[in-house]
Structure 1
Amino acid sequence: MCARASEPARTKTTARGIQAASRRFVAPAGRARREPSGLAPATARARTGARFSVRQAFGVGRVVLAVAGVVALLGYFDYVLGFATFAVYNYFSYFTVLSGMGAVVAFVAGAVVAFRRAVDPPWLDWFRLLITTYIIVSGIVFLTIVIQSSSRDYTIEVPWSSQLLHFWIPGIALLDWLTDAGKARLPWKTTAWVMLVPGLWGAFTLARGALVGWYPYFFLDPAQVSGPLETLLYSLVAVALFTGIAAGLTATSRLSPRPWRRIPAAVAAATAE
């Protein structure tokens, strides 16, 4: 009877043991499923930290570009001071100088944001797109003028400051734009603003040139072109350059989702679990 009386006890113990064992077998599987979620925040933070270090590198690069822009503007001012016909107020009539000054502001703003945020705000990249377009067009136009100078019986010197303003800074700014994964996804309507500044500058330059008899570029000077049609032709080419380059830069901002934008969502999902 003792043996029979103890059998139910052993049965209950065995049942409890089986249940406990089943829990032990189920628990590791559950933990295995939860482990990626538990490790995701740490992994995401590590990856985010790595990407932030890249952003900081972009910030340092933009600071260097801003300094290079200031040095180039000062160097170019010192260079043109050597011309007997140079007037200080004419210096600020060059589109290259104005766009170079705007580029310095854009580089500084871009550096500050890169040090503090993983993703650029749309207003900054809208401004960067316009400035990058302007300095690239300035470089293309200046290169065209240098090439055409040989057919017009005069030579244009290209000092180091002019090389920085027209070639090196625009080229590096373009590289910065193309490789920056933290820039905003800009709408196509952004390109509609690209002609605002050149249009205002062109109207002011033509009106001022008629009063003072000086133009910053030969194709705007009636005395150096065959007539208004040639000036109009050059202007249309400039419009095509501005809009085409702005459209290309806008397209590159829309190519793919930015990886830094996916990180916060992944961290939030992992934390929620």
Structure 2
Amino acid sequence: MSELSRLEPPIERHPGFNRAMHPDRLWIRLPRLAVGVLVLVALVQKTYDVTLPGSDVDLGQLYSEFTVQSNLAFGIVLIASAALPRERLPHRWDHLFGALVFYLVMTGLIYALLVAPPGEPWWTWDIYWPQMVHHRLAPLFAALDWLLVTRTVRGRWWRPLAWLVYPVVFLAWTWLRGAIDGWYVYDFLDPTLEGGWPTVLTMTARVLLAFLVVALLVHVAGIGRAALAAPRERHVRAERVHA
């Protein structure tokens, strides 16, 4: 018996809700496929638009954005999750999915709080549609998928710290690139603007703290969803401990 089959209880042993929300169900796979394709189509549109005359962003700058990188990975993972049954995906697939949920949720929060024009509604199609897909729709879908779709792989206590590696590397690369060519992907990371490094470091500390809090919340939600999906296994383990 494989490690995955030992840790992931058979679908028929799940309660009704977990059975209905199992990732192999058609009504889970089709929305994942649709949103994954839409996320990538929006990225293709962005890529095409920056090649047009008059664009103030080039391809290198576009693909240096946290939003673009996380949405690219999320779109691919959604399509893979829709195309392949769960048992054919790596055992740690839920950890990868959780990391991308974390990144997408932070993308939505940072855009809404720090990047979006003042007064822009949280949910509106009256903006550039790829922005809507990447900053609004994808984060919302990621959060709902993580909370609702059946999970059976529990994360260890250090999982949120592992998820933070990419944002920290992204931050370091952003400052390194900015020091080389003078371009910073987001204004709140640009030390050449008013306030200089003290303002940037203060804002960065707040953002990193928010990242840590959200990572912990996503981690705990994943553990809770996995525990909900395997109540019988938990009960059996408890009986063995007290036997």
- With the shorter chain as reference, the TM-score category is 0.7 to 0.9
Q: Choose the corresponding residue for 1:173, options 129, 142, 152.
A: 142
Give the Cα–Cα distance (whole angstroms) in 2 for the partners of residues 75 and 124 of structure 1: 28
- Structure 2: gaps spanning 5 or more residues: 1-11, 120-125, 237-243
Match of 2:131 in 1: 162
Going from structure 1 to structure 2, the CA distance change for 1:46 and 1:209 (only over 3 Å counts) comes to: closer
Q: What do residues 41-82 of structure 1 show as CA deviations (whole Å, max 9, x unaligned)?
A: xxx58989x927853222222111210110121122334445
Stretch of structure 1 that moved more, 187-196 or 102-111: 102-111
Give the Cα–Cα distance (whole angstroms) in 1 for the partners of residues 13 and 200 of structure 2: 57
Match of 1:51 in 2: 19
Match of 1:209 in 2: 178
SS of the residue 2:73 aligns to: helix
Give the Cα–Cα distance (whole angstroms) in 1 for the partners of residues 205 and 15 of structure 2: 47
SS of the residue 1:254 aligns to: helix
Match of 1:33 in 2: none
Match of 1:68 in 2: 38
After TM superposition, give the deviation of residue 247 of structure 1 in Å: 0.8
Q: What do residues 220-260 of structure 1 show as CA deviations (whole Å, max 9, x unaligned)?
A: 11222412111112211221222111111111122263446
Show the 5 A alignment for 1:27-38. Answer: none
Total equivalences in the alignment: 213
The answer on 1:77 being equivalent to 2:47 is yes
Show the 5 A alignment for 1:98-137. Answer: 98-113=69-84, 115-117=85-87, 122-137=91-106
After TM superposition, give the deviation of residue 92 of structure 1 in Å: 0.9
The alignment's TM-score, normalised by the length of structure 1, stands at 0.68
Q: Is contact 1:194-1:243 (8 Å) kept?
A: no
Going from structure 1 to structure 2, the CA distance change for 1:234 and 1:158 (only over 3 Å counts) comes to: farther
Match of 2:7 in 1: none
Going from structure 1 to structure 2, the CA distance change for 1:85 and 1:192 (only over 3 Å counts) comes to: same
Please tell me whether Structure 1 or Structure 2 has the larger radius of gyration of its CA atoms. Answer: 1
**AA partner of residue 99 (structure 1):** S
Going from structure 1 to structure 2, the CA distance change for 1:183 and 1:58 (only over 3 Å counts) comes to: farther
Q: Choose the corresponding residue for 1:97, options 68, 82, 86.
A: 68
Going from structure 1 to structure 2, the CA distance change for 1:46 and 1:207 (only over 3 Å counts) comes to: closer
- Structure 1: gaps spanning 5 or more residues: 1-43, 151-156, 267-273
Give the Cα–Cα distance (whole angstroms) in 1 for the partners of residues 35 and 152 of structure 2: 18
**AA partner of residue 98 (structure 2):** L
Give the Cα–Cα distance (whole angstroms) in 2 for the partners of residues 163 and 96 of structure 1: 12
Query: Kindly, what percent of the aligned residue pairs are identical?
Result: 23
Give the Cα–Cα distance (whole angstroms) in 1 for the partners of residues 74 and 205 of structure 2: 24
Going from structure 1 to structure 2, the CA distance change for 1:53 and 1:181 (only over 3 Å counts) comes to: closer
Going from structure 1 to structure 2, the CA distance change for 1:149 and 1:224 (only over 3 Å counts) comes to: farther
Structure with higher helix content: 1
Give the Cα–Cα distance (whole angstroms) in 1 for the partners of residues 212 and 134 of structure 2: 21
Q: Is contact 2:14-2:229 (8 Å) kept?
A: no
